[in-house]
Structure 1
Amino acid sequence: MNNEDEFYDAVTGLDSDESCEGTSEASFKDAVVYDGAQKNNGAVPQENGIKKRRSCLPAPMFSRNDFSVWSILKKCIGLELSKITMPIVFNEPLSFLQRLTEYMEHTYLLQKACLQSDSIERMQTVAAFAVSAVASQWDRTGKPFNPLLGETYELTREDQGFRLISEQVSHHPPISAFHTESLMGDFVFHGSIYPKLKFWGKSVEAEPKGTITLELHKHKEAYTWTNPFCCVHNVILGKLWIEQYGTVEIINHSTGEKCVLNFKPCGMFGKELHRVEGYIQDKSKKKRCVIYGKWTECMWSVDPQAYEAHRKLEKKGTTDTKKQKQEEPEAVNEDADEMPEVQETVAVIPGSTLLWRISSRPPLSAEMYNFTNFAMALNELEPGMEGVLAPTDCRLRPDIRAMENGNMDEASREKERLEEKQRAARKERAKNEEEWSTRWFQLGTNPYTGSQDWLYTGGYFDRKYRNCPDIY
């Protein structure tokens, strides 16, 4: 294995059976199942005139029960995880560039924001989109493949009204840049991501790096934010589960309005597990609404006065319960950070408005890396696509393709070959004193934050790939 294989994208696991308002995995039986291996005389299957995408993979995931990461991570306590070899069995058959694309699973929220005339309502919807962007991590315990330098991924979803291009623009540090645009010209969504990770014995903590920018053209508005921190528990022993925590500030640079979201840490008794609470304030710093929910379930908005009244009643009714819990001895487990018992679903405050609800997953999700319907189709190679995609596209990576097909030995061999090819190319550039040149993005300044950012230079969808590097 390559000792330069980054672990930065391994913060992907959590464990939760929660769902919104009683919706559970039992409802998955209603999902449409389509085996991507089935073809209709070579044509893409259609359903009611809409392209039908697969909802399962060619092969189920490989068992990780016989593997331990302790021998790999035991020397890394308290250090940044920048160069760590991980067995391929801990991967999922997607590149991190494809994983970034899952931000767009709930694109309808952006389209809704474009149609809203009130700026506070738009901010509510944008906030719901920011929360929904991390929801796909629910129960995802595999790490994506680290993108090779120069690797790309494109996705056009006419049914959802967007197209996206991403590129791995840096190897050390690992930076992935993406650019998404509405097919109707309504919005542009872009950013560059560089997560910084540390290992703390039982858990891996990720500090988010990189700015995310959303531009709504009709309203001449620009929003920016960063992702919350996250922590994966039990990377050595026990069942993997994840917390998202920290403060996320979404700023409307056109109106001066701000949304402050607090992704709450689990807490002693697990009461705050997955909870998100926050508020929206106008440019005069007046609180206009409160937002609450769980990033694994749903998000709601309510008037601040109704929220405070509800909180007072809630505190009054739980005082005795809290006293009882304080008297009970706390269970201690030195071997694993056990995830708290599943708490009740979100208690809806009277007068609240639903902003977003997580989608059900396909029936075979548990056997398919816990992928969502959206994720299940990301690596699908449809007939005729090879002649259209850039030669650097993730779908053409032989190691990911082999893993998706269930051939782990071939996947390991191909991964090692690709990494060796990348090292050889880097040595050759150093020998010739050549600098790596990105193809579709360039380093610049974010016009709204003034910070350094990777910006799309355009031209990808013209299909002119002459200068694409040979990385596979």
Structure 2
Amino acid sequence: MSNEEEFFDAVTGLDSDESYEGVSESSYKDALVFDSSKNNGSKPQENGVKKHRTSLPAPMFSRSTISVWSILKKCIGMELSKITMPVVFNEPLSFLQRLTEYMEHTYLINRACSLSDSIERMQAVAAFAVSAVASQWERTGKPFNPLLGETYELTREEQGFRLLAEQVSHHPPVSAFHAESLSGDFVFHGSIYPKLKFWGKSVEAEPKGTITLELLKHNETYTWSNPNCCVHNIILGKLWIEQYGSVEIVNHSTGDKCVLNFKPCGMFGKELHKVEGYIQDKSKKKLCVIYGKWTECMWSIDPQSYEAHKKAEKKGDNRKQKRDEPVGSENDDADDMPEVQETVLVIPGSTLLWRIDPRPAHSAQMYNFTNFALSLNELEPGMEAILAPTDCRFRPDIRAMENGKMEEASQEKERLEEKQRAARKQRAKNEEEWSTRWFQLGTNPNTGAQDWNYSGGYFSRNYRDLPDIY
């Protein structure tokens, strides 16, 4: 049986037209300085900046002829780690590449590095944490499971970072990554163990693992975990994605904390996509309120203005409810909830922290990829001589799917899985333990939790003794 982990993650890019009425022009322009559409790193786009591809070689293959129910009906309540799914339900990226989409909004980390006030830095870090899950919007295909020992390298000079990811465990499936600033300003790393279950009409993902951001100039370390994710209407209806749960970002150097509540959709979908939270200091005094949508934008405002707005809003809702009763039924089924496309109501005096980049016009035919995602499997001339042979750009099943060769992709996927099983049996026969190459299992010094730490050496290009996984 194939050990296939089902991942339903990822897209960015709601072309937002939210109103900025009541927002100070200076605050808005200040925020725009760090808008990724204007600034993809520590410096603005200029002539000569490296360009990346803006489309895939072939459009997305239709999934309409495949019955998901015929595959999943025996799996209700199970963890989706031993279910073989047809390749048509994949997207042409490895989960290691999907992890790299955290870095799409690296300019927010660069912004945090440039700020002198610790609360403003926390605002930028909070916006970055939200932006990291924004790519999941409408991304209902699953990435390919990484093979044990698979790697992915990404260097973006225009955004000022380089990253390495490695699949460090197969049971359970664990992906570790390490990104660092080319200018020495930050280190961003973590290990992710996505635990997924099928509940009949939905797939629920619990992203176990710790994410760590170190701002070296400020001697600050932040940690957090991602919210839960649920994909609804797996069997019938329009697929839609819900992020929910509490995310706690801790500045271990100052004691400041940001608590973000990713709200479940609620009755009639009124809360769908909404994120609300606050920043407090080590004495638990609330210093700032953060609100918005993870599919659209995030704003900050002082607590007093926020509370005054909420009181006025509640008074207006109460008057409206008396006119419009009854409000609704307790039997509303959230799984059938359509996506609500309303934009964020901006509170006067708010400051824009982040706004999602528009997706390319042809995104729907390209697995709902963002511009950033479209470039991740790009294999440019000369890269073959630089990349490790375990880099997932060399995976034949992903490459075949990207090129629209679905039958070849399915055959290659099956071959690679069988090769992985055979290698595992051979190690067991020889009583050999698997040894990771670039990461070592250890402890996160900030949380005390188990974590995978980068052991260094990858970028010296010493690729001797790497496993033959493809």
Pair in the same fold by TM > 0.5 = yes
Pairs within 5 Å for 1:387-406: 387-406=385-404
**Structure 2 residue 294 is matched with structure 1 residue 295:** yes
Shift of residue 114 of structure 1?
0.3
C-alpha separation between the residues in 2 aligned to 1:324 and 1:71?
Answer: 47
Structure-1 residue corresponding to 2:440: 442
**Structure 2 residue 18 is matched with structure 1 residue 21:** yes
Name stretches of at least 5 consecutive residues in structure 2 with no aligned partner. 21-36, 38-44
Shift of residue 104 of structure 1?
0.2
Per-residue displacement from partner, 1:20-73 (whole Å, max 9, x unpaired)? 4179xxxxxxx9xxxxxxxxxxxxxx9821111111000000001111111221
Does the residue aligned with 1:337 lie in a helix, a strand or coil? helix
Structure-1 residue corresponding to 2:60: 61
Change (3 A) 1:326 1:79: farther
Pairs within 5 Å for 1:178-217: 178-217=177-216
C-alpha separation between the residues in 1 aligned to 2:79 and 2:164?
Answer: 29
C-alpha contact 2:95 2:143 (8 A) present in aligned 1: yes
Instruction: Kindly tell me the number of residue pairs found equivalent between the two proteins.
Output: 447
Pairs within 5 Å for 1:214-363: 214-323=213-322, 326-327=325-326, 330=329, 337-340=335-338, 342-363=340-361
Shift of residue 332 of structure 1?
6.7
Change (3 A) 1:22 1:369: farther
Structure-2 residue corresponding to 1:105: 104
Structure-1 residue corresponding to 2:136: 137
C-alpha contact 1:165 1:180 (8 A) present in aligned 2: yes
Shift of residue 344 of structure 1?
2.3
Change (3 A) 1:328 1:75: same
Shift of residue 5 of structure 1?
1.5
C-alpha separation between the residues in 1 aligned to 2:467 and 2:181?
Answer: 28
Task: Compute the RMSD of aligned alpha carbons.
Answer: 2.0
C-alpha separation between the residues in 2 aligned to 1:209 and 1:318?
Answer: 38
Per-residue displacement from partner, 1:150-199 (whole Å, max 9, x unpaired)? 00000000000000000000001000000000000000000000011111
> What is the TM-score when the length of structure 2 is the normalising length?
0.92
C-alpha contact 2:11 2:135 (8 A) present in aligned 1: no
C-alpha contact 1:108 1:160 (8 A) present in aligned 2: yes
C-alpha contact 1:208 1:229 (8 A) present in aligned 2: yes
C-alpha contact 2:237 2:336 (8 A) present in aligned 1: yes
C-alpha separation between the residues in 2 aligned to 1:47 and 1:304?
Answer: 39
Taking every aligned residue pair, what percent have the same amino acid on both sides? 79
C-alpha separation between the residues in 1 aligned to 2:316 and 2:413?
Answer: 57
Q: Name the aligned partner's letter for residue 197 of structure 1.
A: L
C-alpha separation between the residues in 2 aligned to 1:107 and 1:307?
Answer: 28
C-alpha separation between the residues in 2 aligned to 1:354 and 1:107?
Answer: 17
Shift of residue 328 of structure 1?
5.1
**Structure 2 residue 169 is matched with structure 1 residue 170:** yes
C-alpha separation between the residues in 2 aligned to 1:248 and 1:365?
Answer: 29
Name stretches of at least 5 consecutive residues in structure 1 with no aligned partner. 24-30, 32-45
C-alpha contact 1:6 1:81 (8 A) present in aligned 2: yes
C-alpha contact 2:190 2:211 (8 A) present in aligned 1: yes
C-alpha contact 1:92 1:142 (8 A) present in aligned 2: yes
C-alpha separation between the residues in 2 aligned to 1:174 and 1:299?
Answer: 32
Q: Name the aligned partner's letter for residue 376 of structure 2.
A: L
C-alpha contact 2:10 2:135 (8 A) present in aligned 1: no
Per-residue displacement from partner, 1:113-171 (whole Å, max 9, x unpaired)? 00100000000000000000000111111100000000000000000000000000000
Change (3 A) 1:343 1:373: closer
C-alpha separation between the residues in 2 aligned to 1:341 and 1:426?
Answer: 44
> What is the TM-score when the length of structure 1 is the normalising length?
0.91
C-alpha contact 2:151 2:390 (8 A) present in aligned 1: yes
C-alpha contact 1:246 1:263 (8 A) present in aligned 2: yes
**Structure 2 residue 148 is matched with structure 1 residue 149:** yes
